[in-house]
Amino acid sequence: MDCVPCEKCKLNGKMQVRGLATAMKILFSSDELSVEDFTKTDIIALINFLERLSESLQIFEYFHDHAKHKSSQFEITKLYTALAVASVIGLFGILSDTKKKPSRQSSKPASTGKRDKLE
């Protein structure tokens, strides 16, 4: 993303990629995830990614249905939007449930890796 000259485009692109990475981390994680596994930036990027994905699906459905001259596109758009909202609500439910659990005491020292520099 550093090859793009526009700063706004760089920021939006990096946020979308980070949101996608966070979604993949949730989907393909083999162990149980907790709040400590995510940074604030990860959660914000995920919500931003879901919003952009929902908007893209709405636009796709609009043009798809417009090309076929159908009037049922509104129902499909509502379904995709409801799916995106339910995903976000489910994510917050998972995060709030893990927040209530007592935190595990970690014997690992604080890392100074690339993840900390992104925040």
Query: Which residue is catalytic, options 2, 3, 5, 6?
Result: 6
Six-digit token string for 89: 């609500």
Catalytic entry in 1, 4, 9, 118 = 9
d(Cα 58, Cα 84) in Å, to the nearest integer?
11
Q: Which of 59, 2, 47 is nearest to 20 (CA)?
A: 47
Does the pLDDT value for residue 119 go beyond 60? no
Q: Could you tell me the pLDDT band of residue 36, with boundaries at 50, 70 and 90?
A: confident
- Residue 94 Cα distances to 27, 34, 97, 100, angstroms: 13, 8, 5, 10
**Average pLDDT of the chain, as a whole number:** 75
pLDDT reading at 32 higher than 60:
yes
pLDDT digits (tens, 9 = 90+) for 83-94: 888 787 777 766
Q: Is 9 a catalytic residue?
A: yes
Q: What pLDDT shows up at residue 89?
A: 79
Residue 110 has pLDDT above 70, yes or no: no
Helix and strand numbers, DSSP H then E, in the chain: 4, 0
To the query of whether residue 3 is one of the catalytic residues in this protein, the response is: no
∠ CA 4-46-79, nearest 5°, is: 110
User: Residue 115's pLDDT is what?
Assistant: 54
pTM exceeds 0.85, yes or no: no
Cα distances (angstroms) measured from residue 36 to each of 29, 78, 105: 14, 33, 11
